[in-house]
Amino acid sequence: MAIFSAKITPTIIATAYTAEDSVGGVIEIKGAPREGIIESWSIQDDGDVGAVLELLFFESEPVGVADADSFLTPSDADMQLCIGYLKTGTYVDHADSQFVHAENVGMAYATKGGSLWMIVRAEGTPNYDATDDLTFRFNIVY
């Protein structure tokens, strides 16, 4: 058993999002094992927003999905590729940033290729100040 760790800072649009918008578009978790278990994850929010986000994971790249800062309306075909989702909990506030973390997630997955794909959906109306305000970290056991 080994652990794959990924750190991703997607380019997001520095703007006010509308509820159910895609934040960052389609995000590739490069180098992720073909099969594994997401054991833990975290989000560093340098914009100090602390928004509730849903992270949807896909076994291959979803193609019928809106770009960043657009209402997320995945097609039925894309949702057939969805292998699970995670939702943020309570953030810890650190003056000018926030952090959320989850352990013992245990979300098993298998991909169709060499990457795991993710779409982030805003549940509320976050307003980020910079295009690099969000950093995602994942630890995957394989």
100-124: per-residue pLDDT in tens? 999 999 999 999 877 899 999 999 9
32-62: per-residue pLDDT in tens? 999 999 999 999 999 999 999 999 999 999 8
60-98: per-residue pLDDT in tens? 998 877 666 677 778 889 999 999 999 999 999 999 999
Number of domains in the chain: 1
CATH of the domain at 33: 2.60.120
Q: Point out which residues pair with 92 in neighbouring strands.
A: 99
Domain hosting residue 24, numbered range: 3-141
